Structure 1
């Protein structure tokens, strides 16, 4: 049984790695593809960015629930099929609504895959969970880094001779390998009974729900940051080079932020998070590369701050409560993305980041006053 679980952990880590490689191969160059090839407006960029987060987090509410009753292997298989479908929309799509379908399919894939993978990983003994999940997030970071490097090499050497949509074909390869890996995943069939306690509004910790809605409003999607850097007379290759540095920093920041959370406690940590967002958005206006680097820390701190805080407080119905928080964060990102796109088009490229500084200030004083 121990060997069976070890095999499951290894396969989940391999799946995480391959899916991350494929994702970054596409999504690293997606902002340039949407603007330069499809010709979308920044409002559509905001819709696509925010819609992705909303759909992913909405699906997460249900996917963990489904995994209790249906084969996890089959659910993972379906999730990867959604990802492959998205690639074909990227390859053959001609209009912005084709891209919206492509991004939505990828969002459904992630929304299904992440909670199910986490459920499989969490079947290990509790005292080992930190190490198991730490390794998994590290593997995800390595996969993302390799995917970004592949995109960097493409823009540096092959962009002029190979269209984006031809390049997207190669992102299918890791997904096909993932499909075959799933057949080696073993799972023990169990019959479970559940006691479902009454759910009240208090179980969601509403003041935290509101706080993370506000903080997520300052986190409106990587595309805006990437395109702001790109707009400051950098090429696609130079911009992706900055993104490579960003991916390394955010991986390190994720590790550091966990230690900071344990050392400083919830309130001070969340205050630091809001300050990091404020500084990053302020720098994005005139020094976008520096702002993007600080944003790596802000993003990592928000991730740890949200799930560590809620994880410590929730006593039951964790999947449902976590799913609700995922949906709230995604809904906030959708609204923020649409507003950021509108402000970019109607006022200027600096306007979304001014909005971000305001959201950060509101979050900071809310933490000081109510937490």
Structure 2
């Protein structure tokens, strides 16, 4: 059941969040830097919240309550986006919107009793990176145009892929065997 809830919340989030930057720019007149800051703060806040919810989840063992609370906050925030008349409303709604819990790698490498904390730390670091990436993307778009943002994204993705191949020599073997 939780899987379906998560799927439908993710679908609703993607539908809203994919159009939100366009709405902020065209309807509310936000600059790309402002949009980058709003998105970066939202992602950073989600990551920071997860570190505390993970530790609280480990301590109290109340995982269901925290999941329901997160989904409820996301559901409550969704109607605010189309009704927002100022960037303050969008920022506030984006601030409380939830993000789902990323990652088999974290679950497989963390101690069972500390998995919530491990997810939190992972999300804190990821959120900081997302905040920085969002501000950089908004700045690139604002100064050099849309193509610069996409070129930078593709460049970072390429560097990440190369880094993964260099760090995991067995990954090269797996990839080359699949290619043949």
The bucket for the TM-score relative to the shorter chain is: 0.7 to 0.9
Measure the CA separation in 1 of the matches of 2:156 and 2:80: 35
Which is higher, the Rg of structure 1 or of structure 2? 1
**Match 1:104 to one of 95, 98, 106:** 95
Q: Give the Cα–Cα distance (whole angstroms) in 1 for the partners of residues 152 and 39 of structure 2.
A: 17
Is 1:357–2:159 an aligned residue pair?
no
Q: Does residue 80 of structure 2 align to residue 89 of structure 1?
A: yes
Deviations 1:139-188 (A, max 9, x none): xxxxxxxxxxxxxxxxxxxxxxxxxxxxxxxxxxxxxxxxxxxxxxxxxx
Change in CA separation of 1:343 and 1:21 when aligned onto 2, cut-off 3 Å:
closer
Offset of 1:330 from its aligned partner?
A: 1.8
How far is the alpha carbon of 1:81 from its aligned partner? 3.9
TM-score for both structures, normalised by structure 1: 0.39
Tell me, which stretches of 5 or more residues in structure 1 are unaligned?
A: 1-9, 116-302
Change in 2 beyond 3 A, CA 1:99/1:363: same
Pick one of 289, 313, 335 that aligns with 2:109: 313
Shift of 1:369: 4.3
Q: 1:48 aligns with which of 29, 38, 54?
A: 38
- TM alignment of 1:1-371, pairs within 5 A: 10=1, 12-68=2-58, 69=60, 71-107=62-98, 110=99, 114-115=100-101, 307-315=103-111, 317-371=114-168
Name the Cα RMSD after superposition: 2.8
- The alpha carbon displacement at 1:74 in A equals 4.1
Distance 1:321 1:72 in 2: 14
Q: Deviations over 1:254-297 (max 9, x none)?
A: xxxxxxxxxxxxxxxxxxxxxxxxxxxxxxxxxxxxxxxxxxxx
Please give the per-residue CA displacement for 1:49-97, whole angstroms capped at 9, x wherever unaligned: 2223222222222223323416555434433442244235324432222
Q: 1:38 to 1:310 in 2, by over 3 A?
A: same
Q: Is there any run of 5+ residues in structure 2 with no aligned partner, and where?
A: 169-180
